[in-house]
């Protein structure tokens, strides 16, 4: 597959959740592309739609969620039109996902080796005779020490960082084209976080694999991502290379996120919080969902639609009054 064709191509995706208190418009006109060999970060506050986008792309959206518009192509597969049987084959072979809580994602009463073996066996990647050998090889890939002994370990016998490596091993066992990592370092100490992210980056480069990193940590995104998608309240508000977004943010929300993020060169006094909160996604929403928190808001911001503008090569902003 050529690098000119994205592995993951989401176009104008809109998703709603039907709840007892009303319809939640979780995503609206979300578009993004992820190419082979690149790491794309999706950043934004909790509730911005980062994980919903990933879950929809994997075909594992909650039953209360409904796609109301848009398309998703994953390695040429029409995800929204595929049967559950096709999606089950796709998950693991074409795309895999690492979840943010490995201890809850892993089965506590089965050894980690057998859990990785289940993935290989489900996708016909190994017969029972050679399963242990392939699992141990996979454990070595994610740099787990003494993999022969770890094969027979249970999740509760391993550290949080080791459990996350097991999750990465399960995700990569069938050599997928796309890896989605949803807050993969949550609950880990700083040193372990760096080791896990170094591992994901190195494996992505070695395998020429498309990778999506969902994170609240803008500093991490800057260190590891080639491109960054900024989301707010179900909208993509800005996208571009890591360099462009961190040196020249054009959306007011992106700029405020930068100011709210600690960095090694400044003091705590330089950090500024973002006032207000996300709008109620159940009501009548303005074209720009950041308008109620934005100091640059004017009447033109209330006219739609809110289209992406290319402010520099491959740097897009969805704003009527960009910085």
In a domain, 61, yes or no: yes
How many domains does the chain divide into? 1
pLDDT of residue 266: 61
Which CATH number characterizes residue 310's domain?
3.40.50.300
Q: What is the pTM of this model?
A: 0.93
In a domain, 171, yes or no: no
Residue 292, Cβ neighbours under 10 Å: how many?
14
The HSE-up count of residue 122 (CA atoms within 13 Å, CB side) is 17
The pair of structure tokens assigned to 271 is 């950090």
Domain of 67, in residue numbers: 8-94+176-317
* Tokens 């934005």, residue located: 294
What does pLDDT average to in each consecutive run of 10 residues of the chain (323 residues)? 81 96 95 96 95 96 96 96 94 91 88 93 77 93 94 94 93 94 89 93 95 93 96 97 95 92 66 85 92 92 88 95 93
pLDDT of residue 2: 45
The vertex-210 CA angle with 206 and 212, nearest 5°, equals: 120
In a domain, 17, yes or no: yes
What is the DSSP secondary-structure string of 268-304? GGG--PPPS----TTS---SSTTGGG-TT--GGGGSS
The HSE-up count of residue 272 (CA atoms within 13 Å, CB side) is 10
In a domain, 114, yes or no: no
Contact, 160 vs 184, CB < 8 A?
Answer: no
CA 277 to mean position of chain CA atoms: 22
């Amino acid at each position: 597959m050529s690098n000119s064709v994205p592995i993951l191509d989401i176009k104008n995706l809109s998703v709603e959740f039907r709840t007892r208190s009303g319809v939640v418009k979780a995503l609206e006109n979300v578009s993004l592309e992820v190419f082979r060999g690149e790491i794309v970060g999706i950043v934004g506050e909790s509730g911005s739609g980062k994980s919903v986008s990933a879950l929809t792309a994997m075909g594992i959206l909650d039953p209360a969620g409904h796609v109301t518009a848009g398309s998703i192509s994953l390695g040429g597969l029409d995800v929204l039109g595929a049967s559950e049987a096709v999606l089950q084959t796709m998950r693991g072979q074409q795309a895999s996902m690492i979840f943010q809580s490995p201890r809850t994602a892993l089965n506590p009463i089965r050894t980690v080796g057998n859990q990785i073996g289940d993935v290989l066996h489900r996708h016909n990647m190994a017969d029972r005779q050679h399963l242990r050998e392939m699992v141990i090889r996979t454990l070595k890939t994610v740099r787990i020490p003494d993999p022969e002994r770890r094969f027979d370990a249970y999740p509760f016998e391993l550290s949080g960082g080791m459990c996350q490596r097991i999750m990465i091993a399960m995700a990569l066992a069938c050599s997928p084209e796309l890896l989605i990592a949803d807050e993969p370092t949550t609950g880990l100490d700083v040193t372990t976080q760096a080791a896990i992210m170094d591992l994901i980056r190195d494996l992505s480069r070695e395998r020429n694999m498309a990778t999506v990193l969902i994170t609240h940590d803008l500093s991490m995104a800057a260190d590891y991502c080639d491109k960054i998608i900024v989301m707010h309240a179900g909208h993509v508000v800005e996208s571009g290379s890591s360099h462009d977004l961190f040196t020249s943010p054009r959306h007011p929300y992106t700029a405020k996120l930068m100011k709210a993020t600690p960095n090694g060169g400044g003091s705590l006094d330089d950090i500024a919080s973002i006032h207000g909160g996300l709008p109620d996604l159940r009501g009548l929403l303005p074209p720009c969902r950041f308008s109620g928190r934005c100091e640059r808001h004017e009447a033109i911001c209330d006219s739609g639609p809110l289209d992406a503008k290319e402010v520099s090569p491959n740097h897009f902003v969805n704003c009527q009054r960009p910085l």
